[in-house]
Amino acid sequence: MSYVEVPGAQVPIRMWTDPAGVEDVAMQQLRNVATLPWIKGLAVMPDVHYGKGATVGSVIAMRGAVCPAAVGVDIGCGMSAVKTSLTANDLPGDLSRFRSKIEQAIPVGRGMHDAPVDLGRLHGFPTAGWEDFWARFGGVAEAVRFRQERATKQMGSLGSGNHFIEFCLDDDGAVWLMLHSGSRNIGKELAEFHMGQAQKLPHNQGLVDRDLAVFIADTPQMAAYRNDLFWAQEYAKYNRAVMMALFQDVVRKEFKKARPVFEPVISCHHNYVAEERYEGMDLLVTRKGAIRAGSGEFGIIPGSMGTGSYIVKGLGNAASFQSASHGAGRKMSRNAAKKRFSTRDLMEQTRGVECRKDSGVIDEIPGAYKPIEKVMEQQRDLVEVVAHLKQVVCVKG
């Protein structure tokens, strides 16, 4: 489908989904965002749903301003994927040992490494800029600098919630590695600090929703936030890169006889801010639950832990600010999913996938998410499909 434009808004609200199917609270959030004085456009992805301040699945283009709550607390959250030379024929019948090896190599949940990962032991890991990156930590908000030790030990760890590591097969039987994570606790603390700072500023006192508090250009608060935001986005990118290197090491050891080879890694943020230019204006584009889909750019759009995912190429649609959805999107809250589904439902919906099937991950059950196929159908003018993947192993935080 092409987009539907919501009438009566201050700026165009372009929706790649049927507005009638969007929950009322999410529609109100979209209208609230459209009232901001700095807003220049709002694109709504087919996986849109209610979030803090702004909906998940929205692209907010502002001139001279940025809203930290619209970025969210997991700054730089995103995906990485890589195709391998392995095929379905290389896989053993029982993948439980392999899943255990992944979980041993990469801490999940709130876990962290006992000591910072030694990059020297990671096969071919690019370390250029690593020392400069950590030196810049001294310039982030003083309130979180004491977290550096934790941040170094969490580098290369998964986190919890909807974060995952997957071992997948495409429709031709080729094996792919894929993972989803962000900036861990350090990104969360930086986000929460700056959200609190923004809410104190005089220009934010008359907003319809205090969570829409913004920083504006050419102020010390904006400069401080941009510094910390871009550092956290880089942390998230490095975090995925370290995890992918650890994941590849596990694959090399477990499939030694097959001598696996890996293609270049595809990586994309889906909770972040970028400086981009549209219609002659320099804008700050916030993608909250959306990926950049510039012409020919690779992206990753995952489904839930029992369905499938897609590797895509962007079509560069300017109406969406060159964006696409970041996944299937939730259709019910975590609490609602826990009340509605049982472990038996989880086992049924993840049949054929080596993964956790206990009560601790019921909130991530496939039934709590929108159908990924429908989401993909609604954004045919935003991306083209390169590969369809189906997981055979899924490690959840």
Instruction: Express each pLDDT in 350-373 by its tens digit.
Output: 999 999 999 999 999 999 999 999
Residue 295, annotated as binding a ligand: no
Residue 163, annotated as binding a ligand: yes
- The alpha-helical segments, DSSP class H, found in the chain are 24-33, 68-71, 96-105, 130-135, 148-154, 184-199, 220-254, 334-340, 343-349, 372-377
List the structure tokens of 141: 């908000």
Q: Is 373 exposed, middle or buried (0-12, 13-18, 19+ CB in 10 A)?
A: middle
pTM listed for this prediction? 0.96
170-191: pLDDT as tens digits: 999 999 999 999 999 999 999 9
Residue 328, annotated as binding a ligand: yes
pLDDT at 1 over 60: no
Give me the active site residues, please.
Answer: 326
Q: Give the mean model confidence (pLDDT) for residues 65-70.
A: 96
d(Cα 346, Cα 5) in Å, to the nearest integer? 37
d(Cα 124, Cα 119) in Å, to the nearest integer? 9
Residue 123, annotated as binding a ligand: no
* Complete domains list, the chain, with CATH: 2-330+368-394 (3.90.1860.10)
The pLDDT score that the predictor gives to residue 392 is 97
* Number of residues written out for the chain: 397
Q: Give the mean model confidence (pLDDT) for residues 270-299.
A: 97
Q: List CB contacts of 251: < 8 A, sequence separation 6 or more.
A: 84, 86, 177, 260
Residue 230, annotated as binding a ligand: no
Q: Give the mean model confidence (pLDDT) for residues 7-25.
A: 91
DSSP secondary structure code for residue 380 in this structure:
T
